Amino acid sequence: MLYFMLGVINEKKYKLIDTNSTELCKMRANARALIKKYDSLNFNDKRQKRQILELLFGSIGCNVVIDENFHCEYGKIFLSEMMSL
């Protein structure tokens, strides 16, 4: 079983997370499917690309650009405005 730690380093509070849990496996599969769909779209299909990013990320600001072959393990990342990944 693989584990990774979440927590605040300065306060030394950690929580072990089972990366093979059913919930994280579903999140990982969903993120991969969304990224694959995103990468298959035409560069100029901004509306549909934005819809996919809204599903993938926890929040997303205006003018966010994600390049091809972006890797995201689980999704639920929060992005502000004017970002390029």
Per-residue pLDDT at 83 exceeds 60 = no
The neighbouring-strand residues paired with 14 are 7
Which residue ranges form the domains of the chain, and what is each CATH number?
1-85 (2.160.10.10)
Mean pLDDT of 22-47: 89
| Cα dist from 51 to 10, 54, 56, whole Å | 37, 5, 9
Q: What is the pTM of this model?
A: 0.68
Instruction: Grade residue 8 by pLDDT with cuts at 50, 70 and 90.
Output: very low
Q: What are phi and psi of 84, to 5 degrees?
A: -135, 120
